[in-house]
Chains A and B, each alone.
Chain A
Amino acid sequence: MKDELAKLVDWIDAGGMSRRAFLGRASALGLAAALGSSLLPGQARAEEPKKGGVLKIGLGGGESTDALDPGLADGPVSFNVNRQWGDTIVNVSPSKEVEPRLAESFAPNDDSTVWTFKIRKGVKFHDGSEMTVDDVVATFKRHSDENAKSGAYGIMQGISDIKADGDNVVFTLSTGNADLPFLLADYHLVVQPKGGADNVNAGIGTGPYKVKSAEPGVRYVFEKNTDDWDTTRGHYDGVEFLVINDTTARTAALQSGQVHMINRVDPKVAKLLSRAPGVQVKSVAGPGHYVFIMHVDKAPFDNKDLRLALKYAINRQELVDKILDGYGSVGNDIPINKSYPYFDESLPQREFSIEKAAEHYKASGHDGSPIELIVADGAFPGAVDAAALFQATAKQAGIPLEIKRVPDDGYWSDVWNVKPFCASYWGGRPVQDQMYSTAYLSTADWNDTKFKNKEFDDLIVAARAETDEAKRKEIYSKVAHILWEEGGVICPMFNDFIDGVSDTVAGWLDDPNLDQMNGFASAKTWFA
């Protein structure tokens, strides 16, 4: 227990835990009384970051087909690579506030249709040239271009004009959007010289580390940017990424000390790993969630009672316990959880109920033929097992689910968004508007439940421009209730980001936005 306490104290010193969380954990150990306030570290030992060393990170989720073009980043490795060499103009902080990065400040007009971002001066790219407002404008224009195939293309759709105005970049929107800064924090939107017009794969940016060598799917080497505009970050002399897609190999690499950090720890081994010497497991609740999606425009899922029957027939807590091994939280059939601003606590948690499921199934008048659910393990880790658990509980309610297992290969092109009932995964978005606009608006390309509801659409658009916080929260509450009742999404669980970190690393801060401290692990930590 003493070791446990020492570990807690270390966590606080590393900034990984608030004072309150410390007290909570300590009392869970039955230590609160014994501690006394003198022992409380509080903000004690305010540790100065130490400089030097080469940080090695083992990352899963990279392929030899990955490119350095930040617009094409679509996996954990390319996302983290972006973070090393590039900066966005703003960033979403761990507490979900927008913090200025390459933009010093920003402000909207009254109805949030025109946004002005003041761009920082004296920032140098890795090639020595000075970053200008024109570079920023060119960057955003490139990502707005359909031919650029940027992952941020969807985000840029609401922007009708981007122009330079002195030290400022001015965005004009077709409809007001109070969340624009959240959208512009997207990790694809890395500012490049001339927007990447010379060479989009050059890896030249303003980030804390310069690209020294890049072997996609194998290894990336970065060295410190000695000319960094932000002197509070980048404590290592260099950073090395090793792409380790095999979960067991990644875990072994951390345990054997070959890497200092890994991402995507398998929930099934996280508890075991946290007991291993010299290693800590960092888990943080994020917006990512696992779903079973039904096309509400196709039989039999066009029947609301059948959808409700399936929603009641899934045992969410069992899935969290068995598929995530407790590293997650139950979902509530909307893609939003408490990690989002304006989350509606008044929405009742849908409970697992065999009776209600059977009742709704009867009311649906379904003919009792097998309902096919298509799954692959690539949909989300443990999808096949989750479907089996779902099938078992549905059977108790008399609902004949039939699981069809397909290969991972081709799943996202041939099954997802094509077949009427399948398993899927969403990484979540920084704000509610973006999550709903991406996958639930009638007009969304990725509307993977084919959910089309006029009232819902109108509310989403109204919420976007609403600057009154209370009213905004109210609108999002209505939105959540509609989707909860009518939608085609069964959301059993939200998964945690689970990273593994060696004890030699200090300064870890939980960041609920994405794994590896939202990609800033190498920028903000240091060797103890």
Chain B
Amino acid sequence: MAHPILKLVAQRVALGLLLLLAASVLIFIGTQILPGDVAQAILGQSATPETLANLRAELGLNEPVVSRYFSWLFGVLHGDLGTALSNGQPIAPALGARLANTLFLASCAAVIAVPLAVLLGLVSVRYRNRWPDKLISAVTLATISVPEFLLGYIVIFFLAVQYRLLPSLSTVYDGMTLGERLYAIGLPVIVLVLAVLGHMMRMTRAAILNVMQSAYVETAELKGLRPFTIIARHAFPNAIAPVVNVVMINLAYLVVGVVVVEVVFVYPGMGQYLVDHVSKRDVPVVQACGLVFAGVYIGLNLIADIVSILANPRLRHPK
């Protein structure tokens, strides 16, 4: 049994690496299309033709595009992300700290959102078309429809300014205890949970309802099982594959798509770091961030694929 799956996983991983390489080429091309370059961005208003030329030579911007890409790729394959052009600092430590922050926020949000979404989905199915189902749908659809920054401002207004329950600033830094960190990120976690809940909950509901039409569910009903047991024990395991896919997309979103939430709550994550360096045309940093983001997407999709296979006996035991 293990053998075909291992082979499949190996194939997927190889494909993922290829995708990653393709993504890095695309990111590099994208940064070249942007108007202006890092020398102009650094010098800003004080740029003169001479200083621009000096700085470009100093930063190696006069090399051909292709050779710059390959020297970057060579560095990355040797574990060296290089140094930022804008301030001369090595990229890896700065990026590492930001990535850790992003993953911390994303996992806190996921730990709450995923079980909650699945549970709400199960409850909706149990009471489908009755008031609990309608209430859950209405609330989650409403929160997913409101732009995140507005959700952010609303929770800041009520929970930080009016009642002062949680801090409006989520700045985290070295030397904070875990408790302090969790307290600091209270508000962004609430916003992120509200933002991703709807999608996952709706998918859970739809997938289970689909399975509920099956003959074996009818059998279970005729057997006299309690409705919730049927849903949780018989229907849900067969609905896992689509649910896992949606969960993974949302997890990826929590890692790579939350720059607006970071700005509103002043959270030092990857998003703001990337935006700052894009505006400075700092290509090595943009490349590194892009690589991490692409890696997260590809990795999570890989996990989704594998879980779907493991959850599905027909895929697990191919004929």
Contacts and interface: CB of A to CB of B under 8 A. Distances in A.
Interface string B73-90: 000000000001011000
B177 interface: no
A169 to B, nearest CB: 25
A63 interface: yes
A98 interface: no
A256 B41 contact: no
B201 to A, nearest CB: 29
A249 B35 contact: no
A249 B86 contact: no
A63 B276 contact: yes
B263 A245 contact: yes
Contacts of B46: 149, 151, 153-154, 445
Nearest to A414: B35
Nearest to A245: B263
A474 interface: no
B55 to A, nearest CB: 8
A246 B266 contact: yes
B42 to A, nearest CB: 7
A528 to B, nearest CB: 21
A410 B280 CA distance: 9
Given A65-B84, A218-B173, A413-B35, A242 B266 contact: yes
B277 A253 contact: no
B273 A64 contact: yes
Given A215-B173, A217-B276, A248 B264 contact: yes
Nearest to B168: A252
B156 interface: yes
A446 B169 contact: no
Nearest to A153: B46
A65 B168 contact: no
Interface string B33-66: 0111000111111111011001100000000000
A256 to B, nearest CB: 4
B173 A249 contact: no
A63 B279 CA distance: 10
A249 B266 contact: yes
B272 A64 contact: yes
B164 interface: yes
B266 A243 contact: yes
A217 B270 CA distance: 12
Interface string B289-307: 0000000000000000000
A255 B161 contact: yes
A67 interface: yes
A345 interface: no
Interface residues of A, number: 42
A446 B47 CA distance: 9
Given A219-B173, A246-B266, A65 B40 contact: no
Contacts of A445: 46, 48
Contacts of B48: 445
B43 A244 contact: no
Nearest to B101: A218
Contacts of A257: 164
Given A246-B266, A410-B36, A149 B51 contact: yes
B34 A410 contact: yes
A76 B35 CA distance: 26
B160 interface: yes
A215 B272 CA distance: 13
A469 interface: no
Contact of A413 (B41, B160, B265): B41
A74 B278 CA distance: 18
Nearest to B266: A244
Contacts of B87: 65-67, 216
A367 interface: no
A256 B160 contact: yes
Given A215-B173, A253-B169, A246 B51 contact: no
Contact of B43 (A149, A256, A416): A149
Contact of B167 (A149, A213, A245, A256): A256
A249 B84 contact: no
Contacts of A147: 54
Interface string B164-182: 1001110101100000000
Contacts of B40: 413
Interface in B250-295: 263-266, 268, 272-273, 276-280, 282
Contacts of B160: 252, 256, 258
Given A64-B273, A255-B161, A74 B44 contact: yes
Interface in B216-256: none
B69 to A, nearest CB: 22
Contacts of B263: 245-246, 249
Interface string B133-171: 000000000000000000001001100110010011101
Given A65-B84, A249-B263, A218 B268 contact: yes
A146 interface: yes
Contacts of B45: 412, 416-417, 446
A409 interface: yes
A253 B171 CA distance: 12
Interface of A: 58, 63-67, 74, 146-147, 149, 151, 153-154, 213, 215-219, 242-246, 248-249, 252-253, 255-259, 409-410, 412-414, 416-417, 445-446
8 contacts: A64-B272, A153-B46, A218-B173, A245-B266, A249-B168, A413-B35, A414-B35, A445-B46
Given A65-B276, A65-B280, A252-B156, 17 more contacts: A64-B276, A74-B44, A146-B54, A213-B173, A216-B87, A249-B168, A249-B264, A249-B265, A252-B168, A255-B161, A256-B168, A259-B169, A409-B279, A410-B34, A413-B35, A413-B40, A445-B46
